[in-house]
Structure 1
Amino acid sequence: MASIRLLLACLPLALATITVLDPSDYADLAADATDNTLEADYTTDNSGPQYLLYNITGPYYYSDEDGEIDHQTLTVDANDTSVLVVTEGSAVNVSYTDVIKKGYSTWLNQASFFGVNAAINVANASTTYIDHSNITVHNGAANIYAYGTGTTVYVSNTDLYSSGPVSHGLYAAGNGTVYASNLRHYSGGKRSSSFSGDSPGGYIYVTDAVAHTAGVGSAIFYTLGDSYGKDVIGKSENGPSLFSDGAQSSVFENVDFTAGLLAGTVMFSSSTRSSGASLSFSNSRLTTLGEDMAALWFGNLIASATLHATELNTTSGILVIANASQITQSFDHFVGWEENSSIQPAQATVTVTESTLSGDIVAYNGSSISWSLAEYSSWTGTASTGRGTAYLAVALDKTSTWTLTKNVYLQNFTNADTTNSNIASQGYSIYYNASSSANAWIKSANTTLPGGGSLQSY
């Protein structure tokens, strides 16, 4: 992974450049180049049956028993086969061990929903501790898969490497849980996120980690359930830092994420519009590289996001997009009503505290964005409608400031400083809907703003 400029928490204004390494720095990437061109088959029979077709099996198999594995090399080269299976209430410790998996998965749904073909599959109220190990997979396989209520995997001081499609690093579903610390991950394949949940939801908790994905549609976190990341450096070359599908929860603290495709974070619903999705960043930085990439993107979803002491660095100058849209199965572009007539507008509520942000918020096709600044935050930018009608609301507390960069039309405008002295208009105006009850405090007045602009009703 390339050098990254990091904010040092212990030195508030100090910057340092360090080189962060991940498993790709010592792997033979050229040898896996063909593997990483493979596509996930999500079209044949809709990815296959959604019930378990066959027993999950592997050469190292523990069922209702305890075990210890240390200083060994475990391998398998077979399709639809794991290396290590821990099931039916087993407890297995794995230390100082290399796990190497080759072989393809026949059905995408079998791999996604049940962990078929994963290098390590832990299921059915089992517990596994993994430390000081290396887990390598090829041809499309998860490194570690946790499935089922009561199933818990603990991973520490471990490297994960994968090639091939849908090769997630940590993967949890069916209420399974993974706790990971001091982890390094790299995936080169498509749709191969570092830390992923699946349906029914899984729970992923990651601290002190480095994550690097190269394939299209491969995020750092893919939330179906709950995701928590603390002290994580992540780079997605051809994806966002986060995919979140449906009413899921993603919490990030002291992370530094870089995204190369779609948006910094992508929150959507792949079925009907759902409500209750949440996202938070605290003491973090999110960087987007593409000229059309927003930091935060919402589609076909009702969601909330909180940014506390967080930087959003965008090449596009766009902080937030809300749209009537979602993601294709290839995870490489957004689609709208032309592919799914049931898509509905997004409703995004974003609360900013103790942050300094520059950029615009944009809503499309009936979507809405409620943008709130509090606790000494400052914003330089505007709110606008990209296409069709949209609903935009901006709120400020007395400690926060807004510097306008264009005229803005708002459904709702709320300012705890009723004199509007915390607004630098630069000659631009705020137009508000006089019919909205949220604007009653303005009393339908037209007033001058600091900097020569005005506050006017429409």
Structure 2
Amino acid sequence: MLVSILLLAALSKATVTILDPSDFADLAADAADNALTADWDYAPLSYQAYSITGPYVYNDTSKEVSHKTLTVAANDTSVVVITEDSQVNISQSTVIKHGYSTDLYQSSFYGLNAAVNIANASVAYLDNVNVTVHNGAANVYVYGNNSYAYVSDSSLYSSGPVSHGLYAAGYGTVVGKNLRHYSGAYRSSSFAGDSPKGYVYVYDSIAHTAGIGSAIFYGQGTVYAENIIGHAQQAPIAFLDGSQIDIHESDLTAGLLAGVVTFSSGTRQSGSEISFTNSRLTVLPDEAAGLWFGNVIASASLVRSQINTTSGILAIANYSQVTQDFNYFAESTAAAEATITVSESALAGDLVAYNGSSINWSLGNYSTWTGKAYSGYGNASFSVSLDASSSWIMTGHTVLTNFTDADTTLSNVHSAGYNLYYDSSSAHNSWLKGNTQKMHGGGYLKPASKSQLRGSH
């Protein structure tokens, strides 16, 4: 069950209860299934090693399936297999899958054991379908160029590890509308794109995950989400591994690690991007940041959006990595570089960088920021830019590598008695001419010392 809190007025709140498939399932019966984890300590095969089979195989055909119950109870076996340029429409039906996966890498890359598997330039339409899986199986999996699945007005429920709701890989595309999804187990995200790049588009849906590492979105390709209410009880709302995720008009809650985790699973890559528009991100853990970046060069965009954290930290950039279990951070091979652009938003919280990482923070279009920037450990680099319509309320002393303000009088920086230090040797700061000046609120703008720039402040 999800509970959405609507802020109706400054002194009043209303709650709306939103049902998901867990409200109607026998969760106690699936407790053992959901307690299972997975062993990833073996070399993945780079080719499809198992045949995708099942009792309902549609090969080079067109088919209408309506008002049916389709089931199987077997390991490494799908219920429905749609392949070789087929088009299959399934409506008003139930798909039930039992059975374990022998090789979870094969499940991830090729959909082994998925309840519904679409591949080889095939197209599937699922309408008013209930897909239930146990023992660790994806609900709907799509693989390959020109392979598509369209899932609407349907319910997806899963137990067991690595049992994603909508799942795309190998440049396949899945589109979901008006869905209700629940997964109770480890690493079982609601809407996932795996390697090679999968494309996921989801609208007007409810998503609820309970397992460790089970995000609302997992991306190694492109994810577009609109009007989603989601709660990841023991995961961020999104893992981005070299991907782009675009979120609109959504209300999402994270329960582990961070609000969004952006990383590179191998060597450091660039190009990952997360954007929020007209959306709210709530982050519950005491020490978790809203946005976390590790071993990556990435960007984020916040437009008319909120980030609410218990920790008071908006963003962290670090020399760190996500473990295979997706439950804690470990050391990586490279620092993170994060560029965050804020538009028409009011945000409160701090920016923290570690071990040579950097955060570039830009406020525009009547945005406000209440917070400070500081090094968590070692040297760090921060750049802050404000346009003339935006403002910064400082909550602590801050050292910046680069500082740009379209209001050269600094009337939009409210120091509250804190000092703002800048690198006088940076060309970006030449407009400050190495000067010291008093700011609104009693603090001073000053050139930074060498020790401050090394992060020893």
Q: Which of the five TM-score ranges fits, normalised by the shorter chain?
A: over 0.9
Letter in 1 for 2:265: S
Partner of 1:406: 396
Partner of 1:179: 175
What CA deviation, in whole Å up to 9, does each residue of 1:62-120 have, x standing for no partner? Answer: 01101111100000000000000000110000000000000000001110000010000
Query: Is 2:69 the counterpart of 1:73?
Result: yes
Shift of 1:14: 9.0
Partner of 1:456: 446
Q: 2:21 aligned to 13, 23, 37, which one?
A: 23
Partner of 2:453: none
What CA deviation, in whole Å up to 9, does each residue of 1:299-330 have, x standing for no partner? Answer: 00000100001010000000000001110001
Query: Is 2:426 the counterpart of 1:436?
Result: yes
Q: Distance in 1 between matches of 2:11 and 2:369?
A: 20
SS of the residue corresponding to residue 212 of structure 2 reads coil
Letter in 1 for 2:286: E
Q: Distance in 1 between matches of 2:274 and 2:68?
A: 40
Structure 1 unmatched ranges of 5 or more: 338-342
- The equivalences for 1:34-113 within 5 A come to 34-43=32-41, 45-46=42-43, 48-113=44-109
Q: Distance in 1 between matches of 2:141 and 2:11?
A: 40
Q: 1:266 aligned to 250, 261, 269, which one?
A: 261
Letter in 1 for 2:93: T
Shift of 1:16: 3.8
Shift of 1:55: 1.3
Partner of 2:454: none
Q: Distance in 1 between matches of 2:209 and 2:354?
A: 30
Partner of 2:154: 158
Q: Distance in 2 between matches of 1:70 and 1:302?
A: 48
Structure 2 unmatched ranges of 5 or more: 449-457
Q: Distance in 2 between matches of 1:424 and 1:154?
A: 51
Shift of 1:41: 1.9
Partner of 2:220: 224
Q: 1:243 aligned to 232, 239, 245, which one?
A: 239
Letter in 2 for 1:84: V
SS of the residue corresponding to residue 96 of structure 1 reads strand
SS of the residue corresponding to residue 350 of structure 1 reads strand
Query: Is 2:326 the counterpart of 1:331?
Result: yes
Shift of 1:367: 0.3
Shift of 1:12: 12
- The equivalences for 1:114-153 within 5 A come to 114-153=110-149
Contact 2:292-2:316 at 8 Å conserved across structures: yes
Shift of 1:13: 11
Partner of 2:191: 195
Letter in 1 for 2:443: G
- The equivalences for 1:373-412 within 5 A come to 373-412=363-402
Q: Distance in 2 between matches of 1:186 and 1:15?
A: 27
Aligned residues: 448
C-alpha RMSD of the superposition: 1.3
Partner of 1:277: 272
SS of the residue corresponding to residue 440 of structure 2 reads coil
Letter in 1 for 2:5: R
SS of the residue corresponding to residue 180 of structure 1 reads strand
Q: Distance in 2 between matches of 1:219 and 1:6?
A: 23
Partner of 1:313: 308
Shift of 1:198: 0.7
TM-score (norm 1): 0.96
SS of the residue corresponding to residue 85 of structure 1 reads strand
Contact 1:50-1:109 at 8 Å conserved across structures: no
What CA deviation, in whole Å up to 9, does each residue of 1:393-417 have, x standing for no partner? Answer: 1110000010001010010010000
